Amino acid sequence: MNPRSLLPLALALLMFPQLAQTLYSPALADLGRAFGVAPAQAAQSLSVFVLGFAPGVLLWGRLSDLWGRRPALLGGLTLYVLAIGLQLQVQSFTALLLCQALAALGVAAGSVVTQTLLRDLFRGSELVRVFSLVGMVLAASPAIGLFSGAGLVRAWGYQGALAGLLVLALALLGWCARALPETRAPAPHLAPLAGTLWHMLRDPGIWRSALLVALFNVALLSYYSLGPFLFRDLGWGEQGFGYSGAGLALASGLGAWLNRRLLGRGWSGDTLLRLAALAVTLGGLGVTALGHSLWLLLPMLGVVLGFGLAIPNILGSALAAYSDRLGSAGAGFGLFYYLLIGAGLLLVGWGQALGPTLGLCGVAALLLCLMRRRQQG
């Protein structure tokens, strides 16, 4: 089997969890109107999604080691389809949030198991290059999600966005059932999950990587959480917010492309991470200064460029020491950073302050990078 022949399916699987968030994002304002809740409460549905995602990462990552990559992915996608079907029927905001958490639990398989699959097939610098390619493709997800979500919400309200996600999930489930092979290598002995998690909890490198992933993701997702209400206040509504995704997708793709090019020219991953953190910090300052006009999109380009530059380097190197238990280690790593992301987004929804959030994320990431440089020196 040629590993690269699986890349289109792997890329689609990795795009889907991000699509599940960004396609849903333009529906938040309509969701608030439909259920009679305040913007801060409606924004919490994204936080609930991330918090539901975290145990899903642990569940499907471990099951991918026990059962195999293929059964775990098929199981996760099936659960997501059932949860979205239920979400279309609910009559209360609390029930919708519960279904959202269940959907997140299922779709988490698309992230953790697919990353494990790629780690099965690729190693070392080749894996980092594959994750850079992933970053370039994932850069299109926000644009696709925001454009599609805005159009569906404009035509059919928040239920249109949910129906669109249901159709996509069914198509992806059928593709996996037809084309996905098993990539897990036979293992004579599988390390206990508790032992793996305990080892990772004491690993400073894992915590540094998890914090960096969380900080860059909170910076990106805070825009999708607060953006719909900001655009509404500026008089542009869901459609204007959807259009903003195109420029942001371009910048994220540029960041991933730069990462691939600069790695090929001998730049170190740590140097690129420092550049990414600096870009987010400066972007946060710009958004704070321009937060009451559409000009805030200019510094936001720097934020998403930093995201595209950073994430491939972090994900490509984080689990190099855990090659004998990639599914379980990927599950633990994902659990750590998704819990951090969920907690961060809860604070974002409560604070409703985009610019300061971005600035704090950038400064914290830069400090982590500089601390590592000092330790190495």
Task: Spell out the residues 6+ positions from residue 46 whose beta carbon is closer than 8 angstroms to its own.
Answer: 21, 24, 25, 28, 221, 224, 225, 345, 349
253-277 pLDDT, tens per residue? Answer: 777 788 778 877 878 878 889 999 9
The more confident residue out of 233 and 8 is 8
Residues 128, 315: Cα–Cα separation, whole Å:
8
Residues 363, 20: Cα–Cα separation, whole Å:
29
Report the number of distinct structural domains present in the chain: 1
pLDDT at site 359: 92
pLDDT at site 189: 64
Query: Tell me, what CATH number does 135's domain have?
Result: 1.20.1250.20
pLDDT at site 239: 66
CB 172, CB 15: distance < 8 Å: no
110-154 pLDDT, tens per residue? Answer: 988 998 888 888 777 777 778 777 877 776 677 788 778 888 988
31-42 pLDDT, tens per residue? Answer: 888 888 876 677
CB 26, CB 153: distance < 8 Å: yes
Residues 328, 322: Cα–Cα separation, whole Å:
9
The more confident residue out of 120 and 175 is 175
Identify the domain containing residue 124 by its residue range: 3-376
CB 327, CB 64: distance < 8 Å: yes
Tell me the average pLDDT across 199-215: 91
Q: Is 44 exposed, middle or buried (0-12, 13-18, 19+ CB in 10 A)?
A: buried
Per-residue burial over 205-241, b = 16 or more CB atoms within 10 Å of its CB, e = otherwise: ebbbbbbbbbbbbbbbbbbbbbbbbbbbeeeebbbbb
86-100 pLDDT, tens per residue? Answer: 999 988 888 988 999
List helix spans (H) across 122-157. 124-138, 140-156
